[in-house]
């Protein structure tokens, strides 16, 4: 099976997919390539995500179809919009909204390169606003019985001119409508995975809340205060065994502009037991809005 990293994307340039023509490569991940395309009928640029059949496995096909299915169900200003899902002789694809901007991960990496330490974190007001918008989108998804399960900075696209965050990559999402997912949850990114997700137990909206809490902490400090792990496996093992959490310090002890109220919010969002976390994204939002009114 060919690796997606070794795929020659040039052969896709100029190909027509539905009413769109592929123009150039935008990005590639673990299983697919994203292109910029021009949609002639609506005279706009869109994104096309392509999974070559030469790179197919049953798991990858399922993830690709899940992403398209989950995202197509959702219509929210902070979730990437899916336009069309299809298949050609060579690949599976879906077309989607093109976001002019960067991932939150890229923004954080850029900030960390600043010479002044005070510039190595995002403005507090912007951080809280971004997380609230992400939580509003997750709240909506949860109401539609869809759990994302891979919330992290790499999967948050931020528009260049508006700073609007949009959630992408529903590849391992769970569409819970009429389904039960006990001990079937696989995948995820180790740092952001909740304990129940690691062991394959039942997941729900609180699993996404855990990941959002980790991401919030990451946005508030120059570097997350966690031990140095030699492997993903050791990180996952530590997260399962230490019910106090992986953080060595509170946010307010690292970033002097914060106070201890944000420590309590993050501590609750990232609690080991789901029952100790916020029950819903709206509860999480409520505390962040209170913090925003009190501090900002």
Residues 88 and 118 in one domain: no
Sign for the CA dihedral angle at 28, 33, 37, 39 comes to: negative
Sign for the CA dihedral angle at 266, 191, 188, 163 comes to: positive
Q: How many domains does the chain have?
A: 2
Residues 132 and 35 in one domain: no
Residues 143 and 28 in one domain: no
Residues 125 and 70 in one domain: no
Residues 243 and 180 in one domain: yes
Domain that holds residue 288: 101-295
Residues 108 and 254 in one domain: yes
Sign for the CA dihedral angle at 250, 234, 64, 89 comes to: positive
Residues 155 and 112 in one domain: yes
pTM comes to: 0.90
Q: What is the pLDDT of residue 252?
A: 95
Q: What is the pLDDT of residue 186?
A: 53
Q: What is the pLDDT of residue 31?
A: 74
Residues 74 and 197 in one domain: no
Distance CA 12, CA 5 (A): 15
Question: What's the CATH code of the domain at 70?
Answer: 3.30.200.20
Any idea which residue has 């505390």 for tokens? 287
Q: Which letter does DSSP use for residue 119 in this model?
A: G
Residues 92 and 120 in one domain: no
Domain boundary, last residue among 57, 74, 96: 96
Residues 239 and 278 in one domain: yes
Nearest to 48 by CA among 82, 74, 3: 82
Question: What's the CATH code of the domain at 179?
Answer: 1.10.510.10
Residues 219 and 270 in one domain: yes
Which residues carry out catalysis?
A: 150
Residues 129 and 181 in one domain: yes
Q: What is the pLDDT of residue 2?
A: 54
Distance CA 184, CA 170 (A): 16
Domain boundary, last residue among 96, 127, 160: 96
Return averaged pLDDT per consecutive 10 residues of the chain, 296 residues in all. Answer: 70 88 87 90 92 75 74 88 84 89 95 81 94 98 92 95 92 59 60 93 95 97 92 90 90 93 97 97 98 89
Any idea which residue has 């006990």 for tokens? 182
Domain boundary, last residue among 81, 96, 111: 96
């Amino acid at each position: 099976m060919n690796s997606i990293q070794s795929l020659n994307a040039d052969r896709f340039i100029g190909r027509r997919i539905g009413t769109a023509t592929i123009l150039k490569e935008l990005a590639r991940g673990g299983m697919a390539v994203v292109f910029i395309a021009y949609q002639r009928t609506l005279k706009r640029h869109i994104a096309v995500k392509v999974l070559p059949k030469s790179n197919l496995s049953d798991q990858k096909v399922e993830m690709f179809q899940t992403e398209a299915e989950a995202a197509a169900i959702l219509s929210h200003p902070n979730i990437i919009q899916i336009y069309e899902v299809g298949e050609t002789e060579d690949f599976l694809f879906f077309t989607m909204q093109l976001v002019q901007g960067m991932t939150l991960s890229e923004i954080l990496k850029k900030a960390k390169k600043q010479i002044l330490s005070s510039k190595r974190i995002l403005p507090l007001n912007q951080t809280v606003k971004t997380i609230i918008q992400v939580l509003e989108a997750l709240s909506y998804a949860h109401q539609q019985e869809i759990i994302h399960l891979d919330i992290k900075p790499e999967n948050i696209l931020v528009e260049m001119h508006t700073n609007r965050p949009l959630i992408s990559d529903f590849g391992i999402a769970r569409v819970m409508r009429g389904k039960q997912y006990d001990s079937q949850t696989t995948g995820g990114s180790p740092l952001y995975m909740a304990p129940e997700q690691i062991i394959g137990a039942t997941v729900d909206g609180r699993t996404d809340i855990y990941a959002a809490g980790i991401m919030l902490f990451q946005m508030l400090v120059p570097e997350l205060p966690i031990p140095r792990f030699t492997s993903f496996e050791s990180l996952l093992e530590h997260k399962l065994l230490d019910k106090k959490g992986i953080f060595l310090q509170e946010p307010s002890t690292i970033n002097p502009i914060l106070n201890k109220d944000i420590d309590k919010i993050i501590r609750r969002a990232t609690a080991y037991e789901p029952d100790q976390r916020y029950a819903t994204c709206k509860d999480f939002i409520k505390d962040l809005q209170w913090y925003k009114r009190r501090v900002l």
